[in-house]
Amino acid sequence: MKWHWPPRPLGLGTPLNLAALSPEMRTLGLRWWGEALGTGLLTVLLIVTVDALFFGGVTVGKLPPLEDHPPLTSRLLVAVLGAALEELFFRALLATAVAWLVYGVLSRLVDRPRATAQWLGVVAAFALMAWWHTGSPTDATRVLAVNAVAAAAYGWLYWWRGLEAAILGHLVVSLALLIVIPALG
């Protein structure tokens, strides 16, 4: 028996890489890169808005100024590696594994289990991602809310635009939270 990752019935892959190889797909690939950047920027705005409306700006207030530790090079490294590694773990591994398992169960019960399986994978990844980012129990509600916004965006990008788009969207958010907002603040 041959194993495929990601599982074929879930319709996943790396479409931006494939678009780069195919002249017919390049225009679509460029559009998807634009959607990933736009989704990342929208996610930053939503995170800041949710934080301001429901938590009095605590998340933004906890971002260290650029002149404080860590230095800019470390922030860049955290943004790039964090975006890539978190998307590989939370989306490509965890969300896909959960969706694959759910798909396997639901395909015996319903005609079209794909969307439900995908969103349950997104929710599972969100729950673990939020727990991963929670610093203390007193911050749990705020961290869950802020991460829910980000996880929904990254999950959407992953399932409908590919892993590269999720990494790019995550990178935009990380750069904004680690560098741009502290530089403005």
Where would I find the beta strands (DSSP E) of the chain? none
Digit-coded pLDDT (tens) for 63-83: 999 888 889 999 999 999 999
DSSP 3-state of 136: coil
- Decide if pLDDT at 135 tops 90: no
Digit-coded pLDDT (tens) for 17-74: 666 666 766 676 777 889 999 999 999 999 999 999 999 999 999 999 988 888 999 9
Q: What is the pLDDT of residue 76?
A: 96
Digit-coded pLDDT (tens) for 103-117: 999 999 999 998 899
- Rounded Cα distance between 42 and 38, Å, is 6
What is the average per-residue pLDDT within 139-156? 91
154-170 burial: b if 16+ Cβ within 10 Å, else e: bbbbbbebbbbbbbbbb
Across the chain, mean pLDDT equals: 88
Cα distance from N-terminal residue to C-terminal residue, the chain: 56
Q: What is the pLDDT of residue 13?
A: 61
Q: Left if phi > 0, otherwise alpha if psi is -120 to 50, otherwise beta: which for 97?
A: alpha
**Contact at 8 Å (CB) between 143 and 135?**
yes
| Helix boundaries (H) for 56-139 | 58-61, 72-86, 96-106, 114-133
Please indicate whether residue 163 or residue 83 has the higher confidence score (pLDDT): 83
- Decide if pLDDT at 5 tops 70: no
Contacts of 3 (CB under 8 A, 6+ apart): none
Q: What is the pLDDT of residue 51?
A: 97
Between vectors from CA 155 to CA 163 and to CA 104, what angle results, nearest 5°? 90
Helix axes 114-133 and 96-106, enclosed angle (nearest 10): 150
Contacts of 47 (CB under 8 A, 6+ apart): 59, 146, 149, 150, 173, 177
